[in-house]
Amino acid sequence: MACSSNWWRAPVYFTVSVLLAFLAISTALRSLPRDNSLPTKTTIAPLLLDASSALRKSGFNIIATLLQITPEIFISSPHSTIFAIPDSSIANASHTSWLLKHLFQYHASPLQLSMKDLLKKHRGSCFPTLFHGKNVALTKVDEKERVVEINHVLVSHPDIFLNGPLTIHGVLGPFTSMDPRYVNQGWDHIQSPICDSNLSLVSEAIATKNVVEWTHVIRLLSSKGFVSFAIGLNSVLDGILYDKMKLNSVTVFAPPEFSFVASASSLLEKIVRFHILPRKLTYMELASLPANATLCTLAPDHDLEISKAVNITQELMINQVKIVAPNMFESKKFVIHGISQAFKLGELPNTSR
């Protein structure tokens, strides 16, 4: 009988430990400049109390408590929609407090979205979250059955709370796995869908386990000083994803200076694609290819050529351009080589440096 009389202690102790971890977050958030147009914690206290009560009645105890003590995590705009993560998903998390803060911010939106509003949207619609401009996407909308999935996660408890500027839904699990491998390497730990400027889905986050992590490639390029090329790649990424959505490996040749960033978008995209192969080739694999071997790029009808490859220890050149930083970054899905200068497209004399 002792076990049955103490069954409630475990969730209580766990909740207390989570709350202690978030005291640091709360302090840090309050130290930041505040937007005076937003409601203060005092003015919305009754609303938060009612919202927390509704969450507890639906079994979302941890989010209910956090909403009361650190509402700043979830509310940073005049209107907010919160997607409450189940207690079990948070209990199984082994992340630091700041990673959990990011996770919760990714489950809150500055838009007010009731279930009725969600059902009016079409499949593939995206909407923003509070985490660094990251979006979520509606991956299933069935108005007849009143079923909505976001990032392939079911909205299991629609309209838990609808009052004034605050809407709360319960979801079956988190919208992202927050793979610790990405966190450890300084990559994007929130795996979100890729949406275009019209907030339409371009590439689902669920597919990122099997395709190139372009966001990581861009961040790695920027971190090593290849900023202009990173900017160029980022600006044409929508076009690459549109017709190469399932690309599962690439080789990127990154020049230190990339003056084409200000070029017309069609020209810029062609030149960026000319620096990317649709397969992963390490320096050793490139060096093993015969001289004059051609390398297909993402630019249609524009191939690169091995202009010198005697053996692994000797100089290797692609289109007469030296590889000066071989295997600069490498993962299972991509490899980045630093080159001495940008490749030149023969029929475009204005691209010469």
pLDDT in the model for residue 177: 74
Non-local (6+) Cβ contacts of 193 within 8 A are 126, 135, 136, 137, 151, 201, 202, 203, 204, 205
CA 105, CA 314: separation in Å to the nearest integer? 51
Under DSSP, the state recorded for 191 is -
Query: Which part of the chain has CATH 2.30.180.10?
Result: 210-351
CA 178, CA 89: separation in Å to the nearest integer? 12
pLDDT in the model for residue 67: 92
pLDDT in the model for residue 210: 47
CATH superfamily of 210-351: FAS1 domain (2.30.180.10)
pLDDT in the model for residue 245: 64
Beta bridge partners of 167: 81, 162
Non-local (6+) Cβ contacts of 262 within 8 A are none
Taking the chain (353 residues) in consecutive chunks of 10 residues, what is each chunk's mean pLDDT?
45 48 47 52 82 96 91 88 90 65 91 96 92 87 93 94 95 78 50 73 54 80 87 84 77 90 81 94 90 91 79 74 92 92 72 40
Asked if residues 203 and 241 have their Cβ atoms less than 8 Å apart, the reply is yes
Secondary structure class of 109 (helix, strand, coil): strand
Adjacency order of strands within the sheet including 157-163: 108-109, 80-84, 166-170, 157-163
pLDDT in the model for residue 185: 43
Q: Architecture of domain 2-170 in CATH?
A: Roll (2.30)
